[in-house]
């Protein structure tokens, strides 16, 4: 393996850490902590929307870098698409590509929901309580889906790292 290939793989690992680690932090650490320390649901959602929009700047960039480095890392199989269906490694890579595409779609929906207008409406207290409740439910579902899909992508990456040699004994 060339040093350049190792560097690209390292970049891929760093940005997957940012993407998945940041998502897990928001959902598993920050949200539950806010629930305990900030009883007002509207204030809590306002804070989370502001944090999430800020994180999206980093997360979106990370996701783009992950796609670019992922394509580079899989260039051998991707240059000959028929190879995707001729080995366990190819099937795992194809599954990972599908999960990544679904993750990107869910992330785009999340971004559309948490747009600048939504943030302004919330921060200026121009939203009724029903809006906060509906927004909160959507954010929770999309956040959990994103984390679950991202963890699934990481699992498939681990299988790829083993060369696709899957054994149960």
Report the first-to-last Cα separation within the chain, whole angstroms: 30
pLDDT at position 66 is 96
Is the CB of residue 68 less than 8 Å from the CB of residue 24?
A: no
| Cα within 13 Å of Cα(84), Cβ side | 13
pLDDT at position 27 is 83
pLDDT at position 164 is 67
Q: Enumerate the domain spans of the chain.
A: 3-161
pLDDT at position 16 is 95
CA dihedral of residues 65, 66, 69, 72 (deg, nearest 10): -130
Is the CB of residue 30 less than 8 Å from the CB of residue 51?
A: yes
Mean pLDDT by 10 residues, the chain (169 residues): 88 95 89 87 82 89 96 87 86 94 94 82 78 82 92 94 70
pTM for the whole structure: 0.85
């Amino acid at each position: 393996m060339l040093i350049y290939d190792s560097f690209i793989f390292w970049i891929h690992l760093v940005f997957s850490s940012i993407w998945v680690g940041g998502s897990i932090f928001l959902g598993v650490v920050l949200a539950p902590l806010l629930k305990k320390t900030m009883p007002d649901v509207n204030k809590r959602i306002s804070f989370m929307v502001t944090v999430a929009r800020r994180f999206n700047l980093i997360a979106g960039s990370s996701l783009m870098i992950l796609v670019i480095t992922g394509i580079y890392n899989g260039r051998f199989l991707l240059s000959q698409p028929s190879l995707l269906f001729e080995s366990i490694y190819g099937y795992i890579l194809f599954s990972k590509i599908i999960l990544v595409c679904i993750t990107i779609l869910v992330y785009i929906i999340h971004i559309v929901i948490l747009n600048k207008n939504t943030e302004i409406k919330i921060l200026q207290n121009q939203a009724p309580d029903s809006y906060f409740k509906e927004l909160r439910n959507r954010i929770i579902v999309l956040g959990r889906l994103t984390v679950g899909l991202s963890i699934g992508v990481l699992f498939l990456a681990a299988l790829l790292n083993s060369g696709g040699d899957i054994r149960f004994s």
